[in-house]
Amino acid sequence: MKVLVTGGLGFIGSETVVALLEAGHEPIVVDNLCNSKIGVIDRIETITGVRIPFIQADCRDKEAMDKIFSSYQIDGVIHFAGLKAVGESVKLPLKYYENNLLSTLVLIQAMEEHGCHNLVFSSSATVYGDPGELPLKETTPLGTTTNPYGETKKMIERILTDYAHVHPEFNIALLRYFNPIGAHPSGLLGEDPRGIPNNLLPYVAQVAIGRRDHLNVFGDDYPTPDGTCIRDYIHVLDLAEGHVATLNKLNENPGLVIYNLGTGKGTSVFEVIKAFEKASGVKVPYVVAPRRSGDVTANYANVDKAEKELHWKAKRSVEDACRDAYNFQKANPEGIA
């Protein structure tokens, strides 16, 4: 398939481009580089031997999107493009609503006009809010989100669901990612946040290479066995492979489908630190700090539906992901050039 990958130079997008190439698909990437580097294209080429077609454009730019659909016979779209920093979204809500909603609306319009009917959308476990019951199933009612970023995901899910009702020719997959971590084992691709990392793994990796002196563990007084929050950490390569499996599913014309992409296993912050230390052989100094507002105590996925219907399963462990994240950080101490 010729697959348009929006946001395809980002953390999850770049790994997915590699997975698509390895599965014999032809990815075409559009990215405005607001949170990624052009050098990722060379790195994808080093890994796969393929120079991918790349268009630097904003998904909100209808003319640019039309041009892409006119130039390539696109069979399907994976829509990663979006802003994702939870804290920033609280401070700059309009920036998040504008970017995330508008890019999706413009994309759908362009797809409709150009007769492209297969879409995979990057949603998030954040749409479940503070879960009453675990593990989370796709049928678990959506909860109250705690920030504008999460709300954009919930709103876009609703928009795409409403749209799919009246466009039976469309196949749309809403993929609810749990916590993607890790990096490409080559050390060439990985998470490269600008400024101070918001997320646990990139922060731990920067502490491990001495770029930051310690990790703040946000709360050890949660009602969990060791007092720290529990998440379902999934290796980004497993997540990338989940997208390839989803494209195969869309070829069966299923209409609108929803899948949790996780491992089904919860891991605490302290367990992540231990796994990282074991995988890297490096001590990760930490300080217990106050809880971070908006954090839920625990979430992890029920992954039965994805395993059964996508014939896909997360295979890699948290320790594998920690090893790969550490190697990437060591090889790129200041990130990707």
Binding stretches for ligand UFG (CB under 6 A): 84, 86, 124-126, 150, 179, 198-200, 203, 215-218, 229, 231, 269, 292, 295, 299
Distance CA 219, CA 207 (A): 18
* Residue 214 φ/ψ region, left for φ over 0, alpha for ψ in the -120 to 50 degree band, beta for the rest: beta
Give least dist CB 67 to ligand UFG, A.
31
Mapping DSSP onto H, E and C, the string for the chain reads CEEEEECCCCHHHHHHHHHHHHCCCEEEEEECCCCCCCCHHHHHHHHHCCCCCEEECCCCCHHHHHHHHHHCCCCEEEECCCCCCHHHHHHCHHHHHHHHHHHHHHHHHHHHHCCCCEEEEEEEHHHHCCCCCCCECCCCCCCCCCCHHHHHHHHHHHHHHHHHHHCCCCEEEEEEECEEECCCCCCCCCCCCCCCCCCHHHHHHHHHCCCCCCEEEECCCCCCCCCCCEECEEEHHHHHHHHHHHHHHHCCCCCEEEEEECCCCCEEHHHHHHHHHHHHCCCCCEEEECCCCCCCCECCECCHHHHHHHCCCCCCCHHHHHHHHHHHHHHCCCCCC
In the bound complex, what is the minimum distance in angstroms from residue 285's beta carbon to ligand NAD? 24
In the complex, least distance from residue 192 CB atom to ligand NAD, rounded to whole angstroms: 8
Which of ligand UFG, ligand NAD, none interacts with 203 (beta carbon under 5 to 8 A by kind)?
Answer: ligand UFG
8 vs 197, beta carbon nearer ligand UFG: 197
Least Cβ distance, residue 212 to ligand UFG (angstroms)? 9
Which CB atom, from 131 or from 255, has the smaller least distance to ligand UFG? 131
Q: How many CB atoms lie within 10 A of CB 132?
A: 10
Which partner from the list ligand UFG, ligand NAD, none does 198 bind, CB cut-off 5 to 8 Å by kind?
ligand UFG
Cβ proximity to ligand NAD: between 81 and 310 the closer is 81
**Which one of ligand UFG, ligand NAD, none interacts with residue 99, CB within 5 to 8 A by kind?**
ligand NAD
Which of ligand UFG, ligand NAD, none sits in contact with 58, Cβ below 5 to 8 A by type?
ligand NAD
The tokens describing 250, both together, are 């869309």
Q: How many CB atoms lie within 10 A of CB 290?
A: 9
| Beta carbon nearer to ligand UFG, 171 or 263 | 263
Which structure tokens are listed for 272? Answer: 């992540």
Question: Which residue minimizes CB distance to ligand NAD?
Answer: 10
Q: Which is nearer to ligand UFG, 229 or 245 (CB)?
A: 229
Residues that bind ligand NAD in the complex, under the rule CB under 6 A: 6-7, 9-13, 31-36, 58-60, 80-84, 99, 103, 122, 124, 177, 179-180
Q: Is 177 a catalytic residue?
A: no
Of 62 and 282, the one with the shorter C-beta distance to ligand NAD is 62
Binds 135: which of ligand UFG, ligand NAD, none (CB < 5-8 Å by kind): none
Q: Which of 96, 128, 149, 300 is catalytic?
A: 149
To ligand NAD, the closest distance from the beta carbon of 235 in angstroms equals 12
User: Shortest Cβ distance from residue 281 to ligand NAD (Å)?
Assistant: 26
Judged by beta carbon distances under 5 to 8 A according to partner kind, the member of ligand NAD, ligand UFG, none in contact with residue 59 is ligand NAD
Catalytic (active-site) positions? 149
